[in-house]
Amino acid sequence: MKLEGHGIEDSVVNLKPLDHLMEKAGLVRASGWDYERVTYDYKMETNVKNVTYYLRIQGYAIEGDVDKGSAIIKLLTPLLGKHYYPHGIEYGDGEEFPENIVQKSNQILKRVKESIDQFEVEENA
């Protein structure tokens, strides 16, 4: 499920402050990166067996290198996904998401956007 309208998509931020502000909001990059892309996840457990939700914010380097920590990242539209053990995460329009999970995701995205606004840079590309 795309979570549009938060103003996060197309934001441009240097990687180091982006990592810091995402971590502060509870989103983890961990191994979700390569030389050109980053993925931040917020894991939401439920009482339902084998059902976990993930708020995901992805981005790609428009300049520099993620591995070296020198990247400038352009963010994409945040996603809310449902993990199906052992198959993976589904983001499709046919997925049902509990209202409390959607609300929590929206609250997190609001805080992230406020932080991003402090660190956003002009895009040169």
What pLDDT is recorded for position 23?
96
Q: Supply the pLDDT for residue 49.
A: 75
pLDDT at 33: 66
Asked if 42 contacts 32 with a C-beta cutoff of 8 angstroms, the reply is no
Q: Which residue has the higher pLDDT, 35 or 62?
A: 62
The 3-state secondary structure of 57-114 reads: EEEEEEECCCCCCCCEEEECCCEEEEEECCCEEECCCCCCCCHHHHHHHHHHHHHHHH
pLDDT value of position 24: 96
Q: How confident is the model at residue 125 (pLDDT cuts 50, 70, 90)?
A: very low
Residue-wise pLDDT tens digits, 17-54:
999 999 999 999 977 667 899 999 999 988 877 789 99
Q: What is the pTM of this model?
A: 0.89
CATH ID of 12-118, from 3.20.20.10, 3.30.310.100, 3.30.70.120, 3.90.550.10: 3.30.310.100
Task: State the average pLDDT over residues 112-122.
Answer: 93
